[in-house]
Amino acid sequence: MHRLRFVLSVAALVFIGFPAFATEDFEPFIGKFEGKYTSDEGGVEQNRDLSVEISETKDGFNVSWTTTTFKKNKSKTKTYSIDFVESDREHIYMAAQKKNVFGGREPLDPMKGDAYAWARVDGPKLTIHALVITEDGGYEMQTYDRILMGDNNLHLKFSRIRDGEMLKTIDTNLYRQ
């Protein structure tokens, strides 16, 4: 009897197929969003162009973002990209391992300066946390809250904390392109 149940279960998986990766968590966030942010830091006005692109991958989703900061007559652009895959916990995604020079996967090492990152989807809010162990053994935590405000508006709330001290916050809107 147990053998028959096993055979029927395997047959059902072959016939129906294995369950597909669940995209309902992050599917509403898929797309490209762009916006601007202006701040007055230390008496110096800073303008930033911000963009984020969220896309589905084979095993999860990717978040790629670019920030261009304009100060006086100079600009500086930084781009980041992280793949996220399902974890054993509902609505929580872990950063995928990085690729080595041969294309194989190797674990991230926070003791070597790699950020330990994870994402959480809570309804219309996609939060990404990145924890870095600093050279002196302290920590830096960056949090990106991306909140859908309708179909075309993504509200970004960013914070960077080092050893308990708030270093930077950004609060702005990005628009679907």
Q: What are the pLDDT tens digits along the chain (177 aa)? A: 544 443 334 333 333 333 344 567 889 999 999 999 998 877 777 899 999 999 999 889 999 999 999 988 899 999 999 999 998 999 999 998 777 777 666 667 888 888 899 999 999 999 999 999 999 999 999 999 999 999 899 999 999 999 999 999 999 999 999
Specify the pLDDT at position 55: 97
Specify the pLDDT at position 29: 95
What is the C-alpha separation between 69 and 84, in angstroms, rounded?
26
Specify the pLDDT at position 72: 80
Domains annotated for the chain, with CATH where assigned, are: 23-176 (2.40.128)
- Around Cβ 109, how many Cβ atoms within 10 Å? 11
SS3 category, 15: helix
DSSP state of 96: P
Specify the pLDDT at position 151: 87
Token pair listed for 43 = 């008496």
Angle, CA 1 vertex, CA 3 and CA 13 arms, to 5°: 45
Handedness of CA 13, 25, 84, 134 (dihedral sign): negative
Specify the pLDDT at position 37: 96
User: CB-based burial of residue 116 (10 Å sphere; 0-12 exposed, 13-18 middle, 19+ buried)?
Assistant: middle
Specify the pLDDT at position 119: 96
What is the C-alpha separation between 55 and 144, in angstroms, rounded?
17
pTM score above 0.95: no
CA 117 to chain centre: 8
112 backbone dihedrals φ, ψ, rounded to 5°: -105, 15
Specify the pLDDT at position 44: 72
Specify the pLDDT at position 64: 96
Beta partners for 144?
A: 128, 158
Specify the pLDDT at position 112: 86
